Amino acid sequence: MIAYCDYIADRISTALKADSNKVGSLIGSVSKTSYDLSESGSFLSTKKTMVIKDVNGKTYTIIVKEV
């Protein structure tokens, strides 16, 4: 069965980045999506991670992973 972690992570990231550009947004910044990689660079899983900062500097982590 196909996993859609890349697609879901992209949609979340795109929406949050668009929101952060709006006047009055509470989203300060959105990091690049990180992949779950080994030290040699090979994929360990389909997990994707983003770090979000609000306008007050508080940090949040969003993880998309297959269950």
- Per-residue pLDDT of the chain (67 residues), as tens digits, is 888 999 999 999 999 999 999 999 999 999 999 999 999 999 999 999 999 999 999 999 999 999 8
The domain total for the chain is 1
**18, 19, 50, 56 from 22: Cα distances, Å:** 7, 5, 20, 16
Q: Which domain holds residue 48?
A: 5-64
